[in-house]
Chains A and B, each alone.
Chain A
Amino acid sequence: MRGAPDKRTRMAGPTVSASLRSQRWSAWSGLFAVILLLAPLPARAVQPDEVLKDPVLEHRAREISEGLRCLVCQNQSIDDSDAPLAKDLRLLVRDRLEKGDTNQGVKDYIVARYGEFVLLRPVFALHTLLLWLTPALAVLLGAFGLWRLARRRPPAPERRLTAAEEAEVAALLRRE
C-alpha cells in the first residue's frame, strides 16, 4: 500500500538543503566553490504532492520535464531540480497537460515564455547547425584525411643510423 499523497499538504520542516546540482558541480570541479552552497533552498525534485492522479498524464509530464532546463540551475532538468522555479514549471507542465495540451504544445508554450534556453535538447536550426553537424563533420574530415594518407607514396628509404645510434639500438635489444 502506498502512503496517500495529499494534494493540499506541502511537506514542511527545516529546509536548508542547498541546490544539490550546484553542489555536485563544485565538488566535481575540484571542490572549490563554497559560497554557492550556503543558500538555503527547499527540498529536491518531484514531490509526492505534485504527482498527477492519471499515470499516463504523469508519465507524459515526466517525459516533458526531463527535457526542460531548470533556469536557475546548472545544466539540470526541472525533473531533477529542487529550485522553486523548477517546481513552478513542473506544475505548469502538469496544468497544461490536464487542460489537454499535446507534448509539443506544452513545450512550445514554455519556449514561448522562457526562450530556447529552456530546452535541454537544442533545436536544429541555422544557429545550431555547426553543433549538430560536428560528429558527422569530424568523421568525414577524418576519413578524408585517411584517404589522402592512403594515396600518398611510400616515403624515401630511411637514413642510415649513426654508429652511436646503432650501439644504442644494440643495447636496447640486449635488454629485452
Chain B
Amino acid sequence: MIVETGHFALALALALSLVQMVMPVWAARSGDPALRQTTSQAALGAFACVLFAFAALTWAHATSDFSVQNVVENSHTQKPLIYKLSGVWGNHEGSMLLWVLILTLFGACVAGAKNSVPPRLRANTLGVQGLITFVFVLFIITTSNPFTRVVPAPIEGRDLNPLLQDPGLAIHPPLLYLGYVGFSITFAFAAAALIEGRIDAVWARAVRPWTLSAWCFLTLGIAMGSYWAYYELGWGGWWFWDPVENASLMPWIAGTALLHSTVVMEKRDALKVWTVLLAILTFSLSLVGTFIVRSGVLTSVHSFATDPTRGVFILGILVLFIGGSLALFAWRAPLLRQGGLFAPISREGSLVLNNLFLVAACATVFVGTLYPLLLEMLTGDKITVGPPFFNSTFVPLAIPLLLIVPFGQSLAWKRGDLLAASQRLFFALGVALAAGFATLAMTAGGPVMAPIGIGLGAYLLIGSAMEIVARARGYGARRTRSPAIIARRAFGLPRSAWGTSLAHAGVGVVVIGIAAQGWASEGLASLKPGQSLTVGPYVATLDRVAPRQGPNYEEAGAFLTVRNRAGDEVGQVETGRRFYPSRQMTVTESGLLTLGASQVYASLGEAGKDGSIGLRLYYKPLVLLIWLGAVVMALGGALSLTDRRMRVGAPAKAKGRALPASAVAAE
C-alpha cells in the first residue's frame, strides 16, 4: 500500500512540476504577479511529493518488501540496515529518484529564498526548474519505475552488489548528485536571465550561493569517489582518468570557472554573456556526466542499444536541454548588455586567465573522453586515450593556472600593480623555491616532477596565507605593523575572503599530496606466516591468516605487523578477501595503516597451495593530503557561503552602508 502511495505521489509530482513550469508564463501573460506565488507553492509541493515517494521506496527497502522488484534485485534480508538504506540509490531506478529528489529540494530552497532573489527572476528560474523536474519524473515513470511489483514475491532478494556495500559508496552518490543537480539551479537562473533578456549584478549575486554550494558538494563527491576507488579496488591508484571520473571532473572544472566568472560579474559588471554560457555548459556537462555514462555509450557504441527505450529517452533529454539552452543562448544572448571593460593587469584580468585555462582543461578532458568514440564512428579506427594522454595535456594547463592563483588574489580590482603584487609574493615564491630545492636535494635521484609539485604546493599555501596577512596589514595610510591590529583586522575580514584563501590553500594541499606520490613504492610477494616484505621505509611481517564470518559474507583475513627499518613496531594492518554467497562474488578489502598523512596499503591476493598467500603492499607518502586538501577546498567554499552577503535572507545590518560589500572586498 505504501509503495502504491509512493508511486501515486510521483505522478502527483509530475503534475505539480507542470504547474510550476506553466505558472510563470501565465503570470507574465496576464500581468498578475500573484500567480508567481503559485510557482513557489508548486515547487514546494513537488518536493514534498518526491520526498514522500523516496520515503516509500526507502520503507520498502528497509522492511525488505520482496514484492517490489527493485528491492528483490538489490536487497537481502541479512544485509546490514545501513546498506539496505543506501541500496535505495545503489541501482538505476532508485538513483534516478534520488536525482529528482535533490532537484526538487533545490527548487524548494529557491522557492523559500524570498529575500535573496527578486520575485520575477525567482518565478522564471522555478519555471525552468519545473521543466527539468517534469522531464525527469516522466523519465522515471515511463522507463525506470522503482515501484514495479513482482507476483509472486520471492522469499529472498538478490542482494546489493558487494562493492557497493561500503560506507564510502553509501554517501558518494548523494554528494555527487547534490553537486550535479545543484548546477541545475544555476542553469535555470541562466535560462531565466535569457528569457527576461536582462542580466545584472543582482543576478550574479543571487546565483552565487547556489553555484558555490553545488561546487562544494561536487568537490566532496569527487574526493569521496576517488578515496573509495583508492581503498576498495586494491591497487592503490586514486585517479585513473577513466571516462566515469572524467564525467564528474568536467562539470567540476566548468563549475570552478563559473564560480570565478560570477565574482567578476558581481564586482565589475563584466563577463555577463560568458557567465551565462558557462552556467549552461556546467549543467550540460553534469547531464552528460550522469547520462552518457549511464547509457553505456562510452564503453561501446553498441551498448547504447541494450535498452533502447531508456537510451532514446536519455538522448532526447540531452538534446532538449543542451540543444535547447544553447539555441536560447544564441537567440537571446545578443540582447544582454555587455558590461564594463577592464585592464588585463587587474584582479578581473587574472580571473579571466583562470577561466581561459580552466575551460581549456575542460575542453581537453572532454575531447579526450569522447575522441575515441567519434573517431570510431567516423573512420572506424579504434584508438585508446588513456592516462598518459591526460597527464601530459592536463598538467601543462594546470601549472600556469596554479601559478596565477596567488597573483590574482593580490592584484586589485580595475587596475592592479603587477610589480607590487610580485613584491608581495616574493616571500611565497622564495619559500616555494627553497622547499622545492630542499626536497630535490633530499631525494636526489628520485623523480623530478615531485619536488616541482612540492614547491608549487608550498607557493599556493603561503600565497593564500600572505593574502590574508596583506589585507589585514592594510594598504597606504591604513598600513600598520602592530600585530594586535593585524590580528583584529584579520578577524574582521569578510568570511568570503577567508573562504577564498582557505579554498586556494586546499588546492596547495592537494598538489603536495599528488606530488608526493612520485615517491610511492610497491612490494609484491607470496608470503607464509612469519615471512616479511619490505616497502618504502617499512617492513611488514605476516603474522597469521584467519577466516572470519560477517553478516552476509565470509572473509579470509591476513594480519600483518608493520615495523620501521630500526625494527620498532609502528602498527598493525589487516586485509581480507570477502566472499558474498548471495552474489557468488569475492571482494578484496584492502588494509590501510595511517601514519601521519602517509599510508601503508595492504591488499590480499590469492592463497597458494603451500599455505602462502599473495600479498601486495604499497607505501603511499602523504597520500591523505590529496583528499584532505579537497575537504579543505570544500570547507573554504562553505565558509564563503556563511558570509553575510551570501546568506539567504540575511537580516539587515544596523549601520546603513552606502556601498555594498564589494567596497569592503576591494579595499
Residues of A within 8 A of B (CB): 1-3, 5-6, 9, 11-18, 20-21, 23-34, 37-38, 40, 42-49, 51, 67, 69, 74-77, 80, 115-123, 127-128, 130-132, 134-135, 138-139, 142-143, 146, 149-150, 152, 154-155, 158, 168, 172-176
Contacts and interface: CB of A to CB of B under 8 A. Distances in A.
B235 interface: yes
Contacts of B293: 29-30
Given A28-B229, A69-B386, 8 more contacts: A12-B608, A37-B583, A67-B388, A80-B237, A117-B383, A139-B397, A174-B656, A175-B115
B371 A131 contact: yes
Given A3-B527, A176-B657, A28 B244 contact: yes
Given A30-B92, A121-B389, A138 B364 contact: yes
A16 B235 contact: no
A4 B532 CA distance: 11
B359 interface: yes
B352 interface: yes
Given A16-B586, A30-B294, A155 B337 contact: yes
Nearest to B74: A34
A20 B661 contact: no
Contact of B161 (A27, A49, A117, A118): A27
A37 B583 CA distance: 9
Contacts of A49: 526
Interface string B111-122: 000010010000
Contacts, number: 250
B645 interface: yes
29 contacts: A11-B526, A11-B608, A16-B585, A17-B577, A17-B586, A20-B233, A20-B234, A27-B169, A28-B244, A29-B294, A30-B92, A31-B90, A33-B296, A37-B163, A42-B606, A44-B235, A45-B235, A46-B524, A67-B386, A67-B388, A74-B299, A117-B382, A121-B389, A134-B368, A150-B344, A154-B341, A158-B337, A172-B202, A176-B653
A116 to B, nearest CB: 5
Given A47-B605, A138-B359, A154-B341, A3 B90 contact: no
A47 B202 contact: no
A18 B386 contact: no
Return the 10 tightest CB-CB contacts between A and B, nearest first.
Answer: A120-B386, A121-B388, A138-B360, A28-B244, A32-B92, A11-B606, A117-B382, A142-B356, A3-B527, A138-B363
A24 B585 contact: no
Nearest to B370: A131
Nearest to B608: A11
A134 B367 contact: yes
Interface of chain B, helix or strand or loop or mixed? mixed
Contacts of A40: 584
A34 B93 CA distance: 13
B379 interface: yes
Contacts of A134: 363-364, 367-368, 393
A18 B585 contact: yes
Contacts of A2: 525, 531-534
A175 B652 contact: yes
Interface stretch (B42-50, B441-449, B609-617): B609-617
Interface in B375-400: 375, 379, 381-389, 392-393, 396-397
Contacts of B650: 175
Interface string B28-57: 000000000000000000000000000000
B195 interface: no
Interface string B576-612: 0101000111111000000000000000011111101
A32 to B, nearest CB: 4
B587 to A, nearest CB: 7
Contacts of B256: none
Given A43-B606, A127-B379, A146 B352 contact: yes
Contact of B91 (A31, A38, A127, A176): A31
Contacts of B247: 29
A118 B384 contact: yes
B290 interface: yes
Interface string B208-245: 00000000000000000100110011110100111111
B528 interface: yes
Interface string B151-166: 0000000000101100
A167 to B, nearest CB: 12
B173 interface: yes
B588 A75 contact: no
B525 A48 contact: yes
B385 to A, nearest CB: 6
A13 B545 CA distance: 15
A120 B384 CA distance: 5
Nearest to B371: A131
Given A24-B242, A30-B92, A172-B202, A13 B607 contact: yes
B614 A131 contact: no
Nearest to A67: B388
B375 A127 contact: yes
A40 B585 CA distance: 8
B525 to A, nearest CB: 5
Contact of B383 (A18, A38, A116, A176): A116
Residue from the set B340, B383, B524, B616 with the largest chain A CB neighbour count within 10 Å: B383
Contacts of A67: 386, 388
Contact of B382 (A6, A115, A139): A115
B360 A16 contact: no
Given A38-B585, A127-B381, A139-B397, A1 B605 contact: no
B95 interface: yes
Contact of A122 (B337, B379, B383): B383
A120 B229 contact: no
A168 to B, nearest CB: 7
Nearest to A49: B526
A121 B235 CA distance: 21
B294 A131 contact: no
B90 to A, nearest CB: 5
Nearest to A154: B341
Contact of A116 (B89, B382, B612): B382
A134 B339 CA distance: 30
Nearest to A9: B608
A26 B591 CA distance: 23
A23 B163 contact: yes
A168 B122 CA distance: 14
B338 interface: yes
Given A3-B527, A175-B115, A34 B161 contact: yes
B357 interface: yes
A145 B583 CA distance: 55
B207 to A, nearest CB: 15
Nearest to A50: B524
B367 to A, nearest CB: 4
Contact of B526 (A3, A44, A152): A3
B384 A122 contact: yes
Contacts of B89: 31
Contacts of B605: 11, 43-44, 47
A163 B163 CA distance: 61
Contact of A28 (B92, B242, B339, B344): B242
B442 to A, nearest CB: 23
A5 B612 CA distance: 10
Contact of B173 (A31, A46, A175): A31
